[in-house]
Structure 1
Amino acid sequence: MFKSLIRTFAIVVAFVAGYMMPWLHVYGWTFKWMLIGMLFVTFLGIRFKRMKPERPHWLLVGANLLIALAAWSVCRASFGGGYLAEAAFFVGVMPTATAAPVVMGLLGGSVEFMLTALLLTNGIICILLPFILPMVVGRGGFEIYLSVAQNIALVMLLPLALALAARRFYPRAIAWPRKLKDVTFGVWVVILVLIAANASYDISSRDGISERVLEQIGALSLLICALNFGLGHLLGGKARSAECSQALGQKNTTLSIYLALTYSNPIAALGPTFYVLWHNLWNAWQLYRASEHRRRNGN
């Protein structure tokens, strides 16, 4: 129990520290490289033969798109076309986060399932976004393809290639993920500090935004976050409830913030910025529960 409490406390402290030190956003560039290192360790233990699309994967893709369009439509009908509708869209349309397989590994679920979900949601949404964005914000572009392709290629393919090489030339490396679990968690805590610092900086740098606007977007983001994790749990059934909940709930906020800033406006980008807080707080609670479960079972 002590170890699980320490982990939960570390995640909460990471968020508070990052929020109180927005100047750390200048080190945000290290986030990608730390994630690459974590994925390298994760990929060492992956059984790639188990990576194949299942029915829940296609349900996740459909739910991802439907939630985005439904949230945009409801907000547009209720409040008119404006910042709330666009913020809702960019919160809902976010594909699975590149860090989701790492978190699922810490939770003890199927990393192979998560990797498949990651590739499918990012790939399909990348293909469809240039056709959907013009309807939402009035413009789109081919550079969306390039942005997502570059992100996936660097963050996914580089650690994958390194892991395959390590497994080929040093077979004992397959045991590293189990031995380095605590190190992986430590790196994840550092990443959360940088994520919180970036979110704090983004919010504080939005001049002229009223507290009411922040409250509206924050509440909307929280509502969609709860819907994502809850619906994902239902779509996964008994066999894949944890994995589907994580795949639909933990989002690629970096990509969505970039898209909002590029094709909409800074206010719309606050939607995925708030989402950073909500989905990571839920991750903290899940990690605590997983640690408690392992403790009770003597693991």
Structure 2
Amino acid sequence: MQILRFIKDWTLPVAIATGIIIYLVFALIPVLDGFATAANPVFQQLLPVFMFLVLFVTFCKVDFHKLRPVAWHWWIGLFQVLTVGAIMALIICFNLTGENLILAEAVLTCIICPCASAAAVVTQKLGGNLEEMTTYTFISNFITALLIPICFPIIDKAADIHFFEAFALILYKVFTVLVVPMILAYIVKHHAKNICQRITSIKDLSYYLWGCSLLIVSGTTMKNILHADTSITFLLIIAVSSLALCLFQFGCGRAIGSQFNQTVNAGQALGQKNTAFAIWIASTYLSPLSSVGPGCYILWQNIINSWEIWEAQKTAKLGK
């Protein structure tokens, strides 16, 4: 019972550690190498399935009539645009090249990528507003769809990216990842109420589904780090930079949100990033090594999420 209680209280760190350990076991034991190679595409297919289920279960709890923009959305969005502009100015003014450029790209991808689709799950655990968080997720993806086609060709002149093509591709990914589960949840919520009630009656279902997806992502992240073609020192610099950025974005988000009495929502909106998307855009359009930045960021943000959830649970117990 104590083990189950520990897993329940520390789901995210347990998922991260389990994913890393499983990968290392299969990577370091030669006899398991064949199975690992065969299982890799299976896990890659499972990840979007888990993310779809996470959002579907979450959207079953959403009041769709409350999905509308509010004041803090625009300030968080503006902050993201200005921060991206600052990194772009740094790259252009100092004409960064080599490892300096890779480091800047790693930081940029962690800023320019949208709010995590699963941010609403943590926000709900922390007592935030589910509808406002869901609305900002769409706004954030739209901002990212505008920024990437503008910024990336400036950084890498050889980047084969056109504005409308990239904009349409990102919106397509948003549609499949966010809109489809939302439509399905809307149908179930309004036309299959018994099923919806059964789904929502299972406490923290979306949270534990997200833990399963995090296990897969953590293993993939460790794989990318171990296979990175660079020195340990430079990997540590990227890791520390992503940690500093993670703390900076969570802190600034909470500071902005405090002005609107939405500290939790704004903190998660700016700090919790769709790092899987960031890894994809870094690998596709920039230096593949820059994908280590968002790979490390996912570990930091989920450690912060775990601490926030632990603090919220402790406060709730004291309040009883």
Matched, 1:132 2:151: yes
Q: How far off its partner does 1:25 sit? A: 5.0
Could you say which residue in structure 2 is the equivalent of 1:105?
A: 124
Q: Contact 1:28–1:198 (CA<8 Å) still a contact in 2?
A: no
Gaps of 5+ in 1: none
* Amino acid in the other structure paired with 2:20: Y
Give the alignment's TM-score, normalised by structure 2.
0.85
Alignment map for 1:68-107 (pairs within 5 Å): 68-74=84-90, 80-81=96-97, 82-107=101-126
Alignment map for 1:114-125 (pairs within 5 Å): 114-125=133-144
Q: 1: CA distance between counterparts of 2:306 and 2:5?
A: 10
- Please point out which of 27, 31, 45 is paired with 1:29: 45
Q: Contact 1:5–1:288 (CA<8 Å) still a contact in 2?
A: no
Could you say which residue in structure 1 is the equivalent of 2:18?
A: 17
- Please point out which of 204, 207, 217 is paired with 2:226: 204
Could you say which residue in structure 2 is the equivalent of 1:259?
A: 281
Q: Which has the larger radius of gyration?
A: 2
After superposing on structure 2, the runs of 4+ consecutive aligned residues of structure 1 that deviate more than 6 Å are: 75-79
Alignment map for 1:25-64 (pairs within 5 Å): 26=41, 27-64=43-80
Q: How far off its partner does 1:61 sit? A: 1.1
Q: 2: CA distance between counterparts of 1:111 and 1:171?
A: 20
Q: 2: CA distance between counterparts of 1:247 and 1:130?
A: 22
Matched, 1:221 2:250: no
Give the alignment's TM-score, normalised by structure 1.
0.90
Percent identical across equivalent pairs?
Answer: 27
* Amino acid in the other structure paired with 1:53: P
Q: Contact 1:42–1:105 (CA<8 Å) still a contact in 2?
A: no
Q: 1: CA distance between counterparts of 2:5 and 2:122?
A: 15
Could you say which residue in structure 2 is the equivalent of 1:65?
A: 81
Q: 1: CA distance between counterparts of 2:127 and 2:275?
A: 23
Secondary structure at the aligned position of 1:206 is classed as: coil
* Amino acid in the other structure paired with 1:19: I
Could you say which residue in structure 2 is the equivalent of 1:186?
A: 208
Q: 2: CA distance between counterparts of 1:175 and 1:147?
A: 35
Structure 1 pair 72–274 and aligned structure 2 pair: CA distance change class (3 A): farther
